[in-house]
Structure 1
Amino acid sequence: MARTLTSHDDIRQWAQARGGNPMLMDTPDVHEDRTLLTITFGQHALNAERNEGPDVNPYGGWNLSGWEEWFAEFDKQKLAIKVNDDQPGSLDNDFTFVPRDGDKAEQTTDAARQPPNVSIKSPDPADRAS
């Protein structure tokens, strides 16, 4: 059974019990810069070049942050975290960001919510090589 966490203390305790650390990444968006959030666990905080965050990011990558800075952005974006209930003897670190306003749809970007403005036409037989 899944549960949704909004309390800063509950989220911090849940993450720290699993060796989690908060991370932020600023990315350019069409209208304004956008800040992405994640929680990284254990050794995943360092990439292959021993820098913070996942490998290869054109925007500069993830940066480890303090909880206060992370929660400020978390609250600004009005998010909650959906986690699974722990099974006896194990701690599950899977989580999903969801909107805090009660809408159960998973959080995603505007680009993912709107279909692309492209048209697809059937190939022209004349374009095929003989």
Structure 2
Amino acid sequence: MPKTLVSREDIRLWTSARAGNPMLMEVPDGSGSRTLLQLTFGQDALNSDGNEGPDHVGGFALVGWDEWFEALEANQLALRVSDDPSGGNEAEFEFVPRD
């Protein structure tokens, strides 16, 4: 059964529990640009033993939580996650409009 996370604390806790990190990408949109949000998982493993993993993945750049949450709120989005304890992809999520 999915649940929707809106609060910064809930989103950060859910993501951190799965070794996730926030990412953003600016893309052209008409005469301006828009910000795409993403979460990446396993970055901490890439950075273990002093081996710095990439700061960019598929055009997305790692960012701090404050910058990521500003983009989430500016786009009026929430994070829908699976809370199925039976397994599956623990990092399964999607961005949805806030109610």
How would you bin the TM-score normalised by the shorter chain? 0.7 to 0.9
| CA-to-aligned-CA distance 1:90-113 (integer Å, 9 cap, x gap) | 77111000000x2xxxxxxxxxxx
Cα separation, partners in 2 of 1:12 and 1:20, compared to 1, 3 Å: same
Residue-pair matches, total: 93
Q: 3-state SS of the aligned residue for 1:28?
A: strand
For the Cα contact (< 8 Å) 1:44–1:54, is it kept in 2?
Answer: no
Q: 1:81 aligns with which of 79, 82, 85?
A: 79
Misfit runs of 4+, over 3 Å = 43-46, 88-91
User: Structure 1 stretches of 5 or more lacking a match?
Assistant: 56-60, 103-130
Equivalence map 1:18-57=2 (5 Å): 18-43=18-43, 51-55=54-58
Quick one: distance in 1 between partners of 2:18 and 2:62? 16
Amino acid at match of 1:30: G
Q: Compare the two structures and name the one with the higher strand fraction.
A: 2
Q: CA deviation at 1:88?
A: 5.1
Q: 3-state SS of the aligned residue for 1:71?
A: helix
User: Structure 2 stretches of 5 or more lacking a match?
Assistant: 47-52
Q: Which has the higher contact order (CA 8 A, sep 6+)?
A: 2
- Aligned-pair RMSD on alpha carbons? 2.3
